[in-house]
Structure 1
């Protein structure tokens, strides 16, 4: 379901082109916030155990020509 409620004085333009889309985005910029950047923490090799694939998934991938033929 599409919510067509408009808050503010901007006209609703459902058939607009790229210029209309860019205008809509420019009006939304003050509402968007970017999260602070975080640096990933190193993971100890003892915590890395590899990947476990269920046998049914392994058979499915083995039967696909893109994955191993």
Structure 2
């Protein structure tokens, strides 16, 4: 892998471009505000359907101890 040469400081036009980019980000930040997160509601068991377990996995789980035995 080749390593790019690292220079001591950026060129003046690069610094101006970076400052402009930072300014654009500051102006756009209010538009990117994330919505307030709410806690997910539990799903009622009646809505959970269509789950299938392959027979080999079912046998494996059936053979495992459930700490209540």
Q: Fold-level match, TM-score > 0.5?
A: no
Give the TM bin, normalised by the shorter chain.
0.3 to 0.5
Give 1 or 2: higher helix fraction.
2
Q: Kindly name which structure, 1 or 2, has the bigger radius of gyration based on alpha carbons.
A: 2
